[in-house]
Amino acid sequence: MPIRTSLSLKIFVSVTFLLLAATTILAACGSSSSGTATTSTSSSTSSSATATQSSGGAKSPAATAGHPGRGPASGASGGGSNARSGPATGGTIGTVGSVSTSSFTVTTYGGQKVTVTEASSTSYQKGTSTTSASAITAGESVLVLGMTNGTTITATQVTVQSTDNAAATASAAGVIPFKRGAPSTAKKVGQIPANYTEGSGTIISGTTANKVTEAALASYPGGVVDRVVQLSNGEYEAHNIGVNWPHHVFVTQDFKVVGAY
């Protein structure tokens, strides 16, 4: 009897030990699997977060491009190519003041003082005849066309006018000279293109821009055209500075002024 009891006890202890060992092994396996799953989930979450940051952090060209309207991106004449603050084709009409070797000053009929820089490529006319830089003397009335940057113009063409009626034209056209602190006049005259918004259009240069500038200044002298844009309807707008009115002069494709504001 004692022998059987001893044997049974040994068997019981052995079985119990095996059961405990098996339980420990299974628990360890379960813990390892759980840990692996957790790590995998964490890794997946991390990848998802990285993808979200990458998607959210990169900006599309539309988001980074400058508005084509006023400034460089605000621009800066032209916004990529349409930044509005950079030099652009334009010009002015006025009376010559001081003259130096490579530049002269012009006072517009609105009282704005402009510096005109001459270059070897600048051409000169008197009326419709070709002339030279020596024709530019104090007191002469001139039309200046060229690259305009604020109140400085790098001239491509200077025309000495045979008659000085621009001041009378400015008065008759109702041009309002710039006066610091005075609000700009909001009146509209003539035909304003439908759906026109300030800052719209594509900046142009060359012969067409010169013709638009000349037409605008002939009708509304007094300021400085600092850019010309082509509108969606094919017509043009000359942007005028140095006056309280008009800031926008509208010109048809055959270079006739039809409206202003």
Does residue 174 belong to any structural domain of this protein?
Answer: yes
pLDDT of residue 17: 54
100's tokens? 């130096």
Asked whether residue 145 falls in the same domain as residue 104, the answer is yes
Roughly what angle, to the nearest 10 degrees, separates helices 206-219 and 166-173? Answer: 70
Asked whether residue 171 falls in the same domain as residue 255, the answer is yes
pTM above 0.75, yes or no: no
What 3-state class would DSSP assign to 11? Answer: helix
Does residue 189 belong to any structural domain of this protein?
Answer: yes
* pLDDT at 258 exceeding the cut of 80: yes
Contacts of 17 (CB under 8 A, 6+ apart): none
- Nearest to 243, CA basis, from 161, 165, 162, 187: 187
Kind and range of the H or E run holding 202: strand 202-203
- Which of 110, 137, 160 finishes a domain? 160
236 CB neighbour count, 10 Å cutoff: 26
Does residue 137 belong to any structural domain of this protein?
Answer: yes
pLDDT of residue 127: 84
Quote the domain boundaries for residue 187.
166-260
Asked whether residue 121 falls in the same domain as residue 144, the answer is yes
**What is the share, in percent, of the chain residues with pLDDT greater than 70?**
64
- Which of 160, 184, 213 finishes a domain? 160
Partners of 99 in the β-ladder: 104
Does residue 8 belong to any structural domain of this protein?
Answer: no
Asked whether residue 129 falls in the same domain as residue 202, the answer is no
Higher pLDDT, 35 or 248: 248
Query: Residue 96 — very low, low, confident or very high, per pLDDT cuts 50/70/90?
Result: very high
* pLDDT at 132 exceeding the cut of 50: yes
pLDDT of residue 75: 30
- Which of 133, 160, 187 finishes a domain? 160
Does residue 70 belong to any structural domain of this protein?
Answer: no
Asked whether residue 204 falls in the same domain as residue 136, the answer is no
Average pLDDT over residues 233-258: 96
Q: Please count the structural domains in the chain.
A: 2
| Residues 36-87 pLDDT 10s | 444 444 444 444 333 333 333 333 323 322 223 333 222 333 333 344 668 9
Label the pairing between strands 189-190 and 257-260. antiparallel
Looking up residue 130, the CATH number of its domain turns out to be 2.40.50.140
